[in-house]
Amino acid sequence: MFGDREMAVDSTCILCDSACKEINDSLGFSYIECLNCGRYSLARSDKSSFHLMLKNQLGNKLHLISGYIRESSNEKSKPIILNTESVNVILKNSNIPQTINDNFNKLLIYLNNRTEYLGHYIEYEEHPAIAYALNIIELRKLILALEKNNYAKIFYKSKGTNNSDGIFGRLSLTIDGIKEADRLLKYQTESNNAFIAMWFDDEMIKIFDDHISKAVEDAGYRALIISQKEHNDDICDQIIAEIRKCKFLIADFTGNREGVYYEAGFAYGLGKEVIYTCRKDWHNQEISEEVDVTLENGSAVKAELKKNRKIHFDVDHRNFIIWETGEDLYQKLKARIGATISIK
C-alpha cells in the first residue's frame, strides 16, 4: 500500500490516542494507520516535538484534524503529511465543521455514501472521526439525533432502560435521510467557497492568512487553499474537485507559478468567475539581481542579472488587481468581490 515497508509496530495515534499501526519506511517517514483517523504520515525527526505541539496548542481541535484525514483518505491516495503548516491549512479548510449541525450533516453524508440501497443496514463503526465528533459520546448522540429526526433506523444489540440508549448494532438510512443527504450534496456544489490559487511561500501564506482570507470572509464567502505538502501526489485530483465545487476563484500570479495558470484556466473553462491579482513587483517588471560569476581563470566577480517578470499574454489582458501591500490587496479584493460576485 505504501511501497517497501521496513517495520510495522503497534503504536498510539497522536491525534486520537487510539491503538494504531506505525510503518517506518526506508525514506525516514512514519506512516500511521488508525482505524479512527485514517492514514497520515510524519517525518520521523519531527514526531516527538510535533506531538507535543499538537497536544499543547491544538488539544481541543485534534478531532477536527482526525475527521479531515478520515474524510480525505482513500486506498489509492498517499497519506496526508502532517506538519505545522499542513495542520494550520487543514483547520482553515472549508470542509471543517463549524457547528454541531455541520457534524450532524457530515455523519448523514458519510452514511449515505455507504448506503447501497434503501433498507441497507450498515455495521456501526464507533469511530468519532466519521462525524468530526469530539469523542464517542458525541458520536452516539449524533446517531440518536438521526433516528429522532427520522433520518435513520438503529438496530440495537441491547436496549437501555429508557428505550433510547443502548448498544448500537447496525444503522439504516430512511428515505427521508437519503433525501436530506442528497439535498446537502447538491448544496455543496452550490457553495459559497472561494478557491485561492497562489504561490505557497512563507510570505504569501501570511498574506493569505492576514488579508486574502479576511477579504473573502468579509465579503460573505469562505476562503479555501490547498497546500501541496498537505495532499502530496494527489493534489491535482483534490484541486479539481474543489474548483468544481467553488463559487469563484482568486488567482494570484505573484511568483508566476505554473499551477496558478492551470487552476485559473480550469475554473474559467468551467464558467467560474475568476479574479486575477498580482503583487506589483511581479506584474510585467524587469528586475536586476547581483550574482556571483566564476571566470575561466577561476576568479569570482559580481555581475548584474536582469530578469523579466512577465505575465503570459493569454491572461495579461484580464482586469488584474495590482497590489503593493497586504492591506492594499484586502481593500481592492473585497471591493472586487462585492462588485462582481453575487451571493445566492
CB within 8 A of 333, min separation 6: which ones?
211, 212, 215, 216, 250, 275, 277, 321, 323
pLDDT band at 228 (very low <50, low <70, confident <90, very high): very low
User: In this predicted model, what pLDDT tens digit does every residue of 57-81 receive, in sequence order?
Assistant: 787 899 999 999 998 876 556 778 8
How confident is the model at residue 82, as a pLDDT? 83
Q: How far is CA 58 from the centre of its chain?
A: 17
CB within 8 A of 62, min separation 6: which ones?
15, 16, 54
Distance between CA atoms of residues 126 and 317, nearest Å: 55
Q: Do 174 and 46 lie in a common domain?
A: no
Question: What's the pTM value of the predicted model, to 2 decimals?
Answer: 0.58
pLDDT band at 130 (very low <50, low <70, confident <90, very high): very high
How confident is the model at residue 106, as a pLDDT? 95
308: in domain:
yes
Q: How many other β-carbons are positioned within 10 Å of the β-carbon of residue 2?
A: 14
Q: CB-side exposure of 169: number of CA atoms within 13 Å?
A: 6
Rounded to a whole number of angstroms, the CA Rg of the chain reads 24
Contact 216, 241 (CB under 8 A): no
pLDDT band at 231 (very low <50, low <70, confident <90, very high): very low
User: In this predicted model, what pLDDT tens digit does every residue of 154-202 receive, in sequence order?
Assistant: 998 776 555 455 678 899 999 999 999 998 887 665 568 899 999 988 9
Secondary structure of residue 18 in the 3-state scheme: coil
Burial zone of 216 (CB within 10 Å; 0-12 exposed, 13-18 middle, 19+ buried): buried
Q: Do 245 and 331 lie in a common domain?
A: yes
Burial 162-173 (b: 16+ CB within 10 A, else e): eeeebebeebbb
Q: How many domains does the chain have?
A: 3
How confident is the model at residue 189, as a pLDDT? 56
Q: Do 265 and 129 lie in a common domain?
A: no
Q: CB-side exposure of 295: number of CA atoms within 13 Å?
A: 6
Q: Of 83-97, 220-234, 236-250, which has the strongest mean pLDDT?
A: 236-250
Residue 322 has pLDDT above 80, yes or no: yes
Which of 166, 187, 208 terminates a domain? The answer is: 187
How confident is the model at residue 44, as a pLDDT? 55
How confident is the model at residue 146, as a pLDDT? 96
Q: Do 310 and 262 lie in a common domain?
A: yes
When the pLDDT of each residue in the chain is averaged and rounded to a whole number, the result is 83
Contact 283, 309 (CB under 8 A): yes
Burial 190-201 (b: 16+ CB within 10 A, else e): ebbbbbbbbbbe
What's the CATH number where 314 sits? 3.40.50.450
Q: CB-side exposure of 208: number of CA atoms within 13 Å?
A: 26
93: in domain:
no
How confident is the model at residue 232, as a pLDDT? 47
Q: Find the mean pLDDT for residues 2-24.
A: 79
Q: Do 218 and 304 lie in a common domain?
A: yes
Contact 187, 105 (CB under 8 A): no
How many residues are present in the chain?
344
Residue at 253: amino acid letter? F
Domain that holds residue 46: 1-84
Q: Do 218 and 319 lie in a common domain?
A: yes
DSSP 8-state secondary structure symbol assigned to residue 167? E
